Each structure stands twice: as structure tokens, then as C-alpha cells.
Chain A
Amino acid sequence: MSGKRSTFLISALVFGFAFLYVPILLVMIYSFNEGKLVTVWTGFSTKWYVSLFSNDGMIDAAWNSLRIGVMSATLALALGTPAGLVMSRFGRFKGRTLFSGMIAAPLVMPEVITGLSLLLLFVTLEQMVGWPAGRGISTITIAHTTFCAAYVAVVVQSRLSGMDTSVEEAAMDLGAKPAKIFFVITLPMILPALLAGWLLSFTLSLDDLVIASFVAGPGSTTLPMKVFSSVRLGVSPEINALATLIILAVSAMILISSLLILRSERNRSRAPSTEEA
């Protein structure tokens, strides 16, 4: 590689990563600013963290978001895993085109459309059958489950289609039942994909503002809705503190998971050599 080109690449990387990280770092730094204005540094203080934790509305919203996130990620896993299995292993069946369309479409659907259509469904259902009576946590969970299930299905499908089917075929030849094959062979092999799918769904649910705003009811304000309504008016030091906490939590999670992946890879590469010895 010529020297000129690598200088260009290095400066592109430096510029790019500065662009990605400087705004986040500024938010983190100013969360410790004593003053209310972003522009003036008046001294180090953790008072915005204290006021964040005494903000009941914010705490309630965070709690709502976590509950919705866990529930919809789990439900999305339960629905998306069979959907991914069907897409990659079940071959042709009646209505397959519609099925694959319903899995692919949520990924490209603008959030405003998904939100509006689900709200209108809930309103119509309420008029016709009396359920759901009013909107809240449960309607947000259903909405999030629906679009997260599509993401899980895609993750599971791509893992399954990249996987060797010989073990499954051998088990089938030896007379194992389909359900047993799935739980004993397929499931352990796609476990990392399931974990990734769950985490992706949880993050998407935790992050969603638009769909939740459509299908939320009174008393079911989620964290993004709360953040959005206060951010609309401009910079708020409490939001800076919240952002810092979120970024730290995510960084810690990513660091731990990548360390775990590294360790399991190292173990796997070491395993054959210990057998030989």
C-alpha cells in the first residue's frame, strides 16, 4: 500500500470516528456541568444526576420502557424463531409468498405507517369486540412484538441457511421426531442468533418513539416519549445525564459480550489441541 493512500485512509478514519464520537462525548461532558446552559461551563457537579433520579415521571417512563422491552423481545423471539425456521426449512407451502412478504415488509415500513395502522386496528377492535379496552402497555407491547418478530425471523433465517443440515438429516434418518430434532440439535446451534435477536428486539423496543406514540394511552408514557417531549424545547441537563447513563450501560454491555465472544472463540480453538494431548 502506498504511503499517500494509507495517510488518506487514516485521516478518513480519524475524521469519521471523531464525527461519530465527539457529539456523544460532549453530551457526556456537559452532563457534569453545574449550569443549565450548554455553552457556559460553570463547574463540575453531579446535581443533574440527583435531579434525574428524583424525577418520578422519568423513572416511571424508564420502568415502563424496560417492561415493554423485556416482554416484547421475549414474545418476538417466540414468534420470530418459528417464522425463521419456516422460511429456511419448510420448503414450499400454500401462502408462503404472503408469509415471506409479511416478514420482509415490517423491515422497510416507515414507522409512522406501522404506528398509524396499528392504532386504527386497536380502535376498530375496541369498537367491535371491546378489546383492547383503552390503550397502554399492552398495545405498545403488541406493536413492538410485531415488528421485532420480523427482525428475529430474519436473524434466525440467515443463521439457519448458513448452517450445515447434515446433523439434522442424520437425526431424521435415525428416526428422531421433528420436535426433538429442533430442541436437541437445531436450537442449541442457533442459540447465539437467538440471543442476538432478543437483544436486537429489546434495543429496538427501548428505542422506539414513533410507534409507541401512536399506540400509547394515558399512563403508558415510555422513556423515548418522555425524552422527546422535553428535548423538543431544547437542551436539558437532565437529559444529558440520562444520555450518559444509557451510553455507559450500552458500552459496558458491548464490552462484556465481546469479551465473552473472544473467550469462547479462544476456548473453541484450544479444545482440539487439548484432546490431542
Chain B
Amino acid sequence: MITEIWKNSIRFIILVLLQTLIVKNIPLGAYFVPMPYLLFILMLPFETMPMVVLFLSFFTGLAVDIFYDTQGVHASACVLMGYLRFYFLRLLSPREGYEVTEKPTVQFMGNTWFLSYAVPMLLVHHLFFFYLEEFGFDDFFFTLLKTLGSTLASFVFIYIIQFLFYRKDGVLA
């Protein structure tokens, strides 16, 4: 339990710094805005209480907001994503529930499970984020394309991070 808290805290710091100091400066054009820091919310252990997930999502969003000068926009989208995580997990849960030893990663749950878990949540987050950032529907289709492109970019980033740093028996998992 204690080690879980440490692992997640370190993951939080690394992902927020990765997002704000490195990924933010990668020029990919207006249609691709990757947000790999969302991996933190995705990778919280299965047994984390939903209330705790909500609070952690809020603080993750706020931390990124500070670096992006977008006060509240990231936080709001993250809170929505954290709120829906509970329902997505219930929807995707195997018949006998999740094992204590399992973690919400590709290595433990397989490609199909992770794809159907991460992509809808990223999509919801990005949809909400980009329309909230624009504060209206003036450029409806541009924002929609941006959402789809960014979801793809975020997922690719998250998938690569998982493959590079996480193994089933690894220290970080």
C-alpha cells in the first residue's frame, strides 16, 4: 500500500513534468495536441476509491493548468474523466471482478482491454477540453478534428510510454 502511494506520486511528478516541459514543446501542428499526463489517471490502481480518483484527477489537472496558464480548463476535463473512470471500469470488468495483483496496463490486461478502456476516456477528456477551451462552437469541425487527432496522438504517446517503461515483473509497474 505504502509502496503504491510512492509509485503513484513519482509517476505523477514525472508525467506532469514530461507533459509541461517536453511534450508541450514538440511541434506537431494544430491538429495533434498529445496529453500523455492522463496516463496517471488511467494507471491508478483498480482498488483506488472513486472519491480519491476524483480528487487526484482534480489536482493533476490543476498542476498542468499552472504550467499551461489555462487555469481550470485541464482540471475540469480531468475531473470529468476521473468521474467516468468508475463507470468504464465497471463496464469492462471481468465476471469475477479484478484481481488484486492486476493493474490497468497493457501488460496485465492485454491490448484489447486497454484500447477499449483508454481510448473512450481520452476521447471524452479531449472533447470536453477542446470545446471548453474554445468556449463555444464557432469552429465546430476544426475542434472536432483536433479532438480526434489529439486522441490518437495521446494514445500513441501513452502506449509507447507503457511499452518502454513497464513490464509485468518490473519495479515500476
A interacts with B: no
Chain B contacts to A: CB under 8 angstroms: none
